[in-house]
């Protein structure tokens, strides 16, 4: 999909928020969640055929490189219809706050990992594969942008820090979003894919060509958001997000994760938010990732440092087809901006 001039620059928090949550422009699937007669949420299939359909001329690779290199937040395209995602096609837009209220002993994290940091967050909770319901193999994920509370002399008004967290990349079996362990360096268990394992192999090959690592997304953008230029970056290697224990369970067996999120925040038929959906933020500097293709982690020691509180959610066309999250370029040393592994991706 070609980009318009407006697609070439970062967007402000207000622009991204409007694109996802303004019912007049976002193509919302549920006008009001739980209203009788609403059409069911769309189900998009992710198949090897759909992935291969973007290959010529090298479409999937082009998309993967753009995801790493582009700072665009909203990809409207020339027809203002965005694009159909090849990966994680089903999702739901969320918005709320990011807050850090603790620091692990012996650490001096910077930016929005520092104790006391509080910002606004806009994200997309999605699933990899073709199944959105609990009790089936899927890979739940949360990609998000953190924005400062107010404009800062250290950051332009549209500056945001993007991050990615996900369950097992090859899918896993969970009944609810409450069971999902979302991390920036998820395991990979190919046997969970069954007959779709060839999809996984193909995706892995393309993403490795696009950037040095394809199963771990570094967190330095968060540690550098609003950080003074003369301060050394300090960020954790691992981050994990889990639904906070005080969040009430909703949905029941076989629920669509989008309805779970909407049902946590809203009452049926009422457009006003009633309750937040909270995630605990845990980090670890320790741990090691093993294997290639089949990947697992050992030695992580998690410490809770804060929370994400989601107060708005919308299942919408723009959430599925317009909003864009770029992957931070891999650094050989996550705290050293000069150690980018593939510098051409930053140009």
Strand partners, 145: 122, 162
How much is the pLDDT for 30?
87
Q: Assess contact for 96 and 308: CB atoms under 8 A.
A: yes
Measured CA angle at 146 (ends 140, 149), to 5 deg: 145
What is the per-residue DSSP string for 75-133?
---TTS-----SSS-EEEEEEEEEEE----TT----GGGSTT-EEEEEEEEEEESS--B
The tokens describing 189, both together, are 């268990």
How much is the pLDDT for 56?
43
CA 204/CA 214 separation, integer angstroms: 7
Q: Assess contact for 142 and 124: CB atoms under 8 A.
A: yes
Q: What is the pLDDT of residues 282-313, one digit of tens each?
A: 999 999 999 887 899 999 999 999 999 999 99
List the chain residues with pLDDT less than 70.
1-8, 46-69, 151-158, 191-213, 344-347
Helix (H, G, I), strand (E, B) or coil at 314: strand
> How distant is the alpha carbon of residue 63 from its chain centre?
16
How much is the pLDDT for 327?
86
pTM for this predicted structure? 0.87
Contacts of 176 (CB under 8 A, 6+ apart): 134, 249, 251, 255, 260
């Amino acid at each position: 999909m070609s980009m318009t001039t407006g697609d070439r620059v970062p967007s402000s928090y207000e622009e991204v928020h409007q694109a996802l949550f303004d019912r007049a422009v976002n193509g919302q699937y549920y006008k009001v969640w739980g209203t009788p007669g609403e059409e069911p949420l769309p189900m998009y299939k992710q198949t090897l055929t759909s992935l291969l359909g973007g290959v010529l001329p090298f479409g999937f690779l082009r998309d993967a490189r753009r995801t790493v290199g582009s700072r665009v937040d909203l990809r409207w395209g020339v027809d203002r219809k965005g694009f159909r995602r090849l990966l994680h096609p089903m999702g739901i837009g969320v918005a709320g706050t990011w807050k850090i209220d603790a620091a692990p002993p012996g650490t001096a994290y910077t930016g929005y990992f520092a104790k006391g940091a509080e910002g606004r967050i806009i994200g997309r909770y999605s699933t990899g594969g073709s199944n959105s319901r609990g009790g089936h193999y899927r890979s739940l994920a949360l990609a998000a942008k953190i924005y400062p509370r107010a404009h800062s002399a250290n950051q332009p008004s549209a500056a945001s820090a993007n991050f990615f967290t996900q369950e097992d990349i090859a899918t896993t079996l969970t009944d609810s979003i409450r069971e999902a362990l979302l991390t920036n360096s998820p395991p990979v268990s190919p046997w969970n894919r069954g007959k779709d394992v060839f999809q996984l192999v193909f995706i892995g090959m393309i993403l490795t060509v696009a950037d040095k690592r394809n199963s771990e997304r570094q967190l330095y953008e968060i540690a550098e958001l609003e950080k003074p230029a003369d301060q050394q970056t300090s960020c954790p290697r691992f981050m994990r997000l889990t639904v906070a224990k005080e969040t009430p369970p909703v949905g029941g067996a076989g629920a669509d994760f989008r309805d779970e999120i909407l049902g946590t925040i809203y009452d049926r038929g009422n457009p006003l938010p009633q309750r937040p959906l909270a995630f605990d933020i845990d980090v670890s500097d320790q741990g090691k990732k093993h294997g290639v293709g089949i990947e697992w982690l050992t030695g992580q020691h998690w410490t809770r440092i804060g929370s994400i509180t989601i107060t708005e959610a919308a299942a919408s066309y723009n959430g599925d087809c317009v909003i864009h999250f770029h992957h931070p370029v891999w650094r050989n040393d996550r705290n050293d901006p000069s150690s980018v592994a593939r510098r051409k991706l930053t140009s």
